[in-house]
Amino acid sequence: MHKINFRIIHLLLWLLTYLAIFFYCFYKFDNLGLSVVYSVLVTVVYLATVYGNSEFLIPRFFNKSKWQYFLYSVGFLIAILAIRMQLEHWILFRLMKYEWFFNFSHEHFSFSTVTMIFAFLFGALLRISLNHFGLLRQIQERQSQQATAELNLLKSQVQPHFLFNALNNIYYLSYTKSDLAPQSIARLSDIMRYFVEEAPKEWVPLKAELDFIQDYIEVERIRLPHNLEICWERNGQHKEQILVPPILLIPLVENVFKHGVDKTKENNEIAISVEVESKTLTFTVKNSIHSLQNNKSKGTGLANLRKRLTLLFNHNFNLQTGPESGYYVAKLTIPL
């Protein structure tokens, strides 16, 4: 698309150049045939001068040797100037019988030389512009590749940590010969399928992400000696059509099980709400605070989440964490 637009811009500029020469010539000579032929001839010569410098001389000789480029440039200008004057003399002076100006006069030589030099310098300016935009494009591509690599790294950091905890939970069930072991293995299988099939994607359906979180919660609550009260609240329509980055919401839930659940107490509460509006999605996780409990994140989960959110949305998000009315609340708002 950028190349197509750039070619269109070139075409429009040369069309404007031709029209400017044509109207100048018609105003000066008041001859339609002469104006058409002269405008075509001069536009073609200017085109050869501009692209001869920008596409051939500078790329091939300028970086190798400045003196070599200078000598070839002088030879190129002399050659194309001679060709232009000869064509104008042969076509306009002899064939069209325009007996003034195009007969190798001093005026003819001076005007042609000055305009050819300007066209040659414009070719140099064009090459500088092309190199500049090419450099900007390379920088953008490198930044995009770096951002993608960082996103993949931050995403991959979730998986080993979570799988390690999940396997520990299942090992505990197997060790205690719990009847919940087969069910937990089935949920872990669903989680593994999500990691393999959905996590590598750039965007996934919100429903798939929420199902993944549900499986994660059921696997995590296995090791809790007391019942865990969980309240889900989902507001908004057509969640199956909404797309979100994979494994984006899970760090907020994981943070609850790492720092917000007291295994020695029975009154652990977790409230999860998903609110979808026209252009935003708000995901809120709230857990009860216990008197001896440290609800500040001690790991890298939330820090990595902030880094990933910045790479994804460029600060166009809102993540708030902290105590609120006896609960610890983590609230994330992202654009849709």
Residue-wise pLDDT tens digits, 160-204: 666 777 777 777 777 777 777 787 788 878 888 887 787 778 888
Of 119, 139, 159, the domain-final residue? 139
Residues 55 and 190 in one domain: no
For the chain, what is the domain count? Answer: 2
Residues 15 and 97 in one domain: yes
Residues 121 and 226 in one domain: no
Confidence at residue 283, expressed as pLDDT on a 0 to 100 scale: 92
Residues 119 and 194 in one domain: no
Domain presence at residue 153: no
**Count of residues making up the chain:** 336
Distance CA 188, CA 193 (A): 8
Confidence at residue 312, expressed as pLDDT on a 0 to 100 scale: 82
322: left (phi over 0), alpha (psi -120 to 50) or beta: left
Domain presence at residue 149: no
Structural domain including 291 reads 179-335
User: Does residue 169 sit in helix, strand or coil?
Assistant: helix
Residues 184 and 324 in one domain: yes
Domain presence at residue 147: no
In eight-state DSSP terms, residue 318 is: E
Residue-wise pLDDT tens digits, 133-148: 777 777 776 666 566 6
Distance CA 210, CA 205 (A): 9
The pLDDT confidence band at residue 314, using thresholds 50, 70 and 90, is confident
> Is the model's pLDDT at 111 over the cut of 80?
yes
Question: CATH number, domain at 201?
Answer: 3.30.565.10
Residues 321 and 211 in one domain: yes
Confidence at residue 212, expressed as pLDDT on a 0 to 100 scale: 86
CB 251 within 8 A of CB 305: yes
Q: How far is CA 120 from the centre of its chain?
A: 36
Residues 51 and 109 in one domain: yes
Residues 194 and 329 in one domain: yes
Among 173, 159, 127, which residue's Cα sits nearest to residue 247? Answer: 159
Domain presence at residue 154: no
Domain presence at residue 170: no
Residues 116 and 184 in one domain: no
Residues 110 and 229 in one domain: no
> Is the model's pLDDT at 65 over the cut of 80?
yes
Residues 15 and 119 in one domain: yes
Domain presence at residue 287: yes
Residues 330 and 193 in one domain: yes
Domain presence at residue 148: no
Of 139, 162, 196, the domain-final residue? 139
Of 84, 107, 139, the domain-final residue? 139
Domain presence at residue 165: no
Report the 10 Å Cβ neighbour count for 172.
Answer: 14
Amino acid identity for residue 273 in this structure:
S
The four Cα atoms 76, 82, 88, 90 give a dihedral, to 10 degrees, of: -130
